[in-house]
Homo-oligomer: A and B are copies of this chain.
Amino acid sequence: MKKSLAALILFAGLNASAQTPAHEKLVQYVKPIIGTQRMGHTYPGATVPFGMVQLSPETDTPSYELNGKYNPDVYKYCAGYQYDDKTIVGFSHTHFSGTGHSDLGDFLIMPTVGALKLNPGTADKPGSGYRSAFSHANEVSEANYYKVKLDESNITAEMTTSARVGFHQYTFPKSDQSHIILDLMAGIYNYPDKTVWTYVKILNDSTLVGYRQTNGWARTRTLYFAMAFNKKFTQYGFKKYEKRQVYGGFWGKFNQSKNFPEIAGKQIRAYFDFKTEADEKIKIKFALSPVSMDGAMANMQAEVPGWDFDKVKTDGQALWETALEKITVSGSVAKKQDFYTAMYHTMINPTMYMDVDGQYKGIDQNIHKADGFTNYTTFSLWDTYRALHPLFNIIEPQRNADMVKSMLLHYDQSPEHMLPVWSNSGNENWCMSGYHSVSVLADAVVKGNAPFDANKALDAAVATARHRNYEGIGEYIDKGYIPDEKTGVSVSNTLEYAYDDWAIAQMAKKLDKMDIYNEFIKRSENYKNVYDPAVGFMRPKLANGTFRAKFDPLSTINEGFIEGNSWNYTLFAPQDPEGLIKLMGGDKRFVRYLDSLFTMELPDKYFAETEDITRDGIIGNYVHGNEPSHHVAYLYNWTDKPWKTQERIRMILNRMYKPTPDGLGGNDDTGQMSAWYIFSTLGFYPVAPASNDYAIGSPAINGAVIQVGGGKIFTINVKNQSEKNVYIQKMVLNGKPLTGLSITHQDIMAGGEITFFMGSKHK
């Protein structure tokens, strides 16, 4: 094992601040293509860290409906791109990374030559529309850069971004009929009425502005744009695809479909025509704003005043380099590709959500201004409270604090007076269970990363957790569990609420609000109320206090759970592993339970019930592709067999993450799967966020250096690590033996050094 280069530099007495490490460029290891095949739901396009624009190709965007019914194919295209597809429809400016439900895909642009075709056509006949065949051989996907050759037109498409501006560069062949198509109907998780309204205003022969209002997963969302070409178009026009037209009485005065500067309607595709020489580049700057067309134009002018494509690309990649350098690891190229792509995927969502002047649209549908902080959106909190936000508290503490501020403003502006559940672009879609934003707040407060009003955060958490008419909270408060009669997900909700309540209690304790601590620490024990000792599982309970007769611990749907069966969810008391083990009959029975989980054969009929993941996302009956069991492999630490944690973690790392397009075993879930990877690779994991403790796992690299802020570093040395040497023989922290199975947040943030001594046999 060799020390990481950065660590060596440090040892040589050099300054260790984030700016100085003279090591190799880490951005080279980012492979955005990882996860684009099958269920990863990532995208290969260009974005900067936490950028508002995610400019990426769509290989398909099937309709949400097919013959009046839900179209299951739509699910594959949550990020608009599937690696196995042979055609590209176009390039749009907004994408979620790794989600299991979706939206966005705004403002699809496609360059074409020849006769104008305003319909995309079909994948089996790319020439039938503006869609084009492409080949991965002609495709380049880097952090903040995407390039592909479009076979139909022989156009080379390149794209890069700044935070709020997508920059396209299309190299055309010689043609008198070169077109740029702007499809305002296209979208991800689209259905016929999703586009509520579209407006476009042509300002001059090379500039336009407009907006698109959608009713999607974000129910009421308007996104504004400004679009500038580096070359004057010779003419322009549009076609409407809606059945019903606006009152037509007096519109005959103009030919509105051609060279008319004001376009509006529900289903619109516009085009801009050019004559191009061979290899002529048409460049497009496409700025977004959640506030106004003026805002979009101001964003463009502030971020990309000129036309230097390479500068925008380079500037954005420099941002990535700085972000990636927060952790330097040593290991194989494949390991670094896995690691830095995981780092990359943790820094896409949440996304910045405000104009350069700080204005944004709140969930109250009013315009607000973020003063002195960055406002964020895209909070997939059921996923990300687990490891993503804890990771931010180490490597991006300022951003995490700003995310908390954004969540507190959401609370202020929320008509329901609740913290976000799954929020996007000033909308709440209530996706998934629990009120896990409280965990994010508590984790930041408990760990001392709280440059916000912590008492207000506590108030918001308490108000949210006392919201009696939110999914069974009233019954939960009254009975200590949610009755099965109330909801089909009564058990998982009860368990998640109990954890969240514990997080609130920890925050209250930190803030010395002991009445609140007492209320919520009591609530946090509610997990015990749905455990049926007769069967040894968490089990749906009726309002009368008896357990429901019908019960299958392998089944999820209608069995009281969501995205996890009772076998997995029974282990969901991360706040109290000791209590859980006691409840379940002590160490021996608990280890046997865990072993069974990882090794049992899951009958096919149950696999169909595990949502969002491929068969690869499951080990035995352990479902890594969904989140509820992300802490489970670490639970052996609380038994007399902690080495089994080390073994399982390495197995999961090996089986669930590969540096290939199909390298993710399930949805990346806006970075939670990647955050699990980063922590577990480094050798520790936040089993219970809102605690200062990280559970020790098994480091899977040869060493790492974490920039923990203020010029301090935390060095991880891993001696004798290999695919076989997965067992910890001993640990030394800052020169002293580490005998427990955890390290604290303070251990890390103070800077220092931990050394793992690995071996092939467990101790």
Q: List, in ascending order, chain B residues with CB within 8 A of A193's CB.
A: 244, 266
Q: List, in ascending order, chain B residues with CB within 8 A of A203's CB.
A: 415
A358-381 vs B: 1/0 string, CB under 8 Å? 000000111100000000000000
Q: List, in ascending order, chain B residues with CB within 8 A of A266's CB.
A: 193, 196, 215
When the two chains form their complex, are residues B197 and A366 in contact, meaning their CB atoms are under 8 A apart?
no
Residue from the list B101, B247, B250, B430 in contact with A216, Cβ < 8 A: B247
Q: List, in ascending order, chain B residues with CB within 8 A of A197's CB.
A: 196-197, 213, 215, 220
Within A465-491, the residues touching B (CB, 8 Å) are 469-471, 487
Q: List, in ascending order, chain B residues with CB within 8 A of A415's CB.
A: 201-203, 261-262
Residue from the list B101, B252, B366 in contact with A249, Cβ < 8 A: B101
Judge whether A431 is part of the interface by a CB distance below 8 angstroms.
Answer: yes
Within A554-606, the residues touching B (CB, 8 Å) are none
- Name A292's closest neighbour in chain B (CB-CB): B366
Known contacts: A250-B432, A293-B365. The answer to whether A261 contacts B201 by CB under 8 A is no
User: Which of A201, A247, A264, A292 neighbours the largest number of chain B CB atoms within 10 Å of its CB?
Assistant: A247
**What's the minimum C-beta distance from A68 to chain B, rounded to whole angstroms?**
10
**What's the minimum C-beta distance from A759 to chain B, rounded to whole angstroms?**
47
A217 to B249 Cα, complex, angstroms = 9
Residue from the list B192, B202, B264, B470 in contact with A219, Cβ < 8 A: B264
**What's the minimum C-beta distance from A330 to chain B, rounded to whole angstroms?**
43
Judge whether A535 is part of the interface by a CB distance below 8 angstroms.
Answer: no
When the two chains form their complex, are residues B253 and A430 in contact, meaning their CB atoms are under 8 A apart?
yes
Judge whether A416 is part of the interface by a CB distance below 8 angstroms.
Answer: yes
Judge whether A177 is part of the interface by a CB distance below 8 angstroms.
Answer: no
A197 to B266 Cα, complex, angstroms = 12
A399-436 vs B: 1/0 string, CB under 8 Å? 00000000000000001100000100000011110000
Within A180-217, the residues touching B (CB, 8 Å) are 189, 191-193, 196-197, 199, 201-203, 211, 213, 215-217
When the two chains form their complex, are residues A250 and B196 in contact, meaning their CB atoms are under 8 A apart?
no
A294 to B368 Cα, complex, angstroms = 11
Judge whether A246 is part of the interface by a CB distance below 8 angstroms.
Answer: yes
Q: List, in ascending order, chain B residues with CB within 8 A of A430's CB.
A: 250-251, 253-254
Q: List, in ascending order, chain B residues with CB within 8 A of A196's CB.
A: 196-197, 213, 266
A59-94 vs B: 1/0 string, CB under 8 Å? 000001000000000000000000000000000000
**What's the minimum C-beta distance from A124 to chain B, rounded to whole angstroms?**
29
Q: List, in ascending order, chain B residues with CB within 8 A of A64's CB.
A: 247
A669 to B36 Cα, complex, angstroms = 61
When the two chains form their complex, are residues A431 and B250 in contact, meaning their CB atoms are under 8 A apart?
yes
Q: List, in ascending order, chain B residues with CB within 8 A of A261's CB.
A: 415-416
A259 to B469 Cα, complex, angstroms = 10
**What's the minimum C-beta distance from A213 to chain B, rounded to whole angstroms?**
7
- Name A428's closest neighbour in chain B (CB-CB): B262
A606 to B470 Cα, complex, angstroms = 67
Known contacts: A365-B201, A367-B292. The answer to whether A471 contacts B253 by CB under 8 A is yes
Q: List, in ascending order, chain B residues with CB within 8 A of A251's CB.
A: 430
When the two chains form their complex, are residues B292 and A364 in contact, meaning their CB atoms are under 8 A apart?
no
A211 to B361 Cα, complex, angstroms = 15
A246 to B193 Cα, complex, angstroms = 9
A217 to B246 Cα, complex, angstroms = 8
Q: List, in ascending order, chain B residues with CB within 8 A of A254's CB.
A: 416, 430, 469-471
**What's the minimum C-beta distance from A270 to chain B, rounded to whole angstroms?**
14
Q: List, in ascending order, chain B residues with CB within 8 A of A211's CB.
A: 365
A250-272 vs B: 1/0 string, CB under 8 Å? 11111100011110101000000
A197 to B197 Cα, complex, angstroms = 9
**What's the minimum C-beta distance from A43 to chain B, rounded to whole angstroms?**
21
A362 to B105 Cα, complex, angstroms = 28
Known contacts: A247-B217, A416-B262. The answer to whether A366 contacts B293 by CB under 8 A is yes
A470 to B215 Cα, complex, angstroms = 35
A275-299 vs B: 1/0 string, CB under 8 Å? 0000000000000000011100000
A123-157 vs B: 1/0 string, CB under 8 Å? 00000000000000000000000000000000000
Residue from the list B192, B249, B292, B470 in contact with A253, Cβ < 8 A: B470
Q: List, in ascending order, chain B residues with CB within 8 A of A189's CB.
A: 247
Q: List, in ascending order, chain B residues with CB within 8 A of A244's CB.
A: 191-193
A345 to B252 Cα, complex, angstroms = 31
User: Which of A197, A199, A261, A471 neighbours the largest number of chain B CB atoms within 10 Å of its CB?
Assistant: A197
**What's the minimum C-beta distance from A561 to chain B, rounded to whole angstroms?**
15
Residue from the list B219, B253, B364 in contact with A246, Cβ < 8 A: B219
Q: List, in ascending order, chain B residues with CB within 8 A of A470's CB.
A: 253-254
A221-235 vs B: 1/0 string, CB under 8 Å? 000000000000000
A249 to B217 Cα, complex, angstroms = 9
- Name A64's closest neighbour in chain B (CB-CB): B247
**What's the minimum C-beta distance from A268 to chain B, rounded to whole angstroms?**
12
A292 to B260 Cα, complex, angstroms = 29
- Name A471's closest neighbour in chain B (CB-CB): B253
Known contacts: A199-B220, A262-B416, A415-B201. The answer to whether A250 contacts B429 by CB under 8 A is yes
Q: List, in ascending order, chain B residues with CB within 8 A of A292's CB.
A: 366-367
Within A293-309, the residues touching B (CB, 8 Å) are 293-294
- Name A103's closest neighbour in chain B (CB-CB): B247
A254 to B196 Cα, complex, angstroms = 25
**What's the minimum C-beta distance from A424 to chain B, rounded to whole angstroms?**
12
Q: List, in ascending order, chain B residues with CB within 8 A of A220's CB.
A: 197, 199, 264
Residue from the list B246, B249, B260, B429 in contact with A431, Cβ < 8 A: B249
A234 to B70 Cα, complex, angstroms = 38
When the two chains form their complex, are residues A364 and B253 in contact, meaning their CB atoms are under 8 A apart?
no
Q: List, in ascending order, chain B residues with CB within 8 A of A192's CB.
A: 244
- Name A101's closest neighbour in chain B (CB-CB): B249
Q: List, in ascending order, chain B residues with CB within 8 A of A293's CB.
A: 364-366
**What's the minimum C-beta distance from A193 to chain B, rounded to whole angstroms?**
5
- Name A263's closest neighbour in chain B (CB-CB): B415
User: Which of A264, A365, A367 neighbours the largest number of chain B CB atoms within 10 Å of its CB?
Assistant: A365
Q: List, in ascending order, chain B residues with CB within 8 A of A367's CB.
A: 292
Q: List, in ascending order, chain B residues with CB within 8 A of A366's CB.
A: 292-294
Within A314-370, the residues touching B (CB, 8 Å) are 364-367
A-B contact pairs, 23 of them (CB 8 A): A64-B247, A189-B247, A192-B244, A196-B266, A197-B215, A197-B220, A201-B364, A215-B246, A215-B264, A216-B247, A219-B246, A249-B431, A250-B431, A251-B430, A253-B430, A254-B416, A254-B469, A254-B471, A255-B469, A260-B416, A292-B366, A292-B367, A293-B366
Give the 5 A-B residue pairs with the shortest CB-CB distance, closest first.
A261-B415, A253-B471, A262-B415, A250-B430, A201-B415
Q: Taking A197-B215, A254-B416, A254-B469 as given, write out 14 further A-B residue pairs in contact, using a Cβ cutoff of 8 Å, ordered by the A residue number.
A: A193-B244, A196-B213, A211-B365, A215-B264, A219-B264, A220-B264, A247-B429, A249-B429, A249-B431, A253-B470, A253-B471, A254-B430, A259-B469, A292-B366
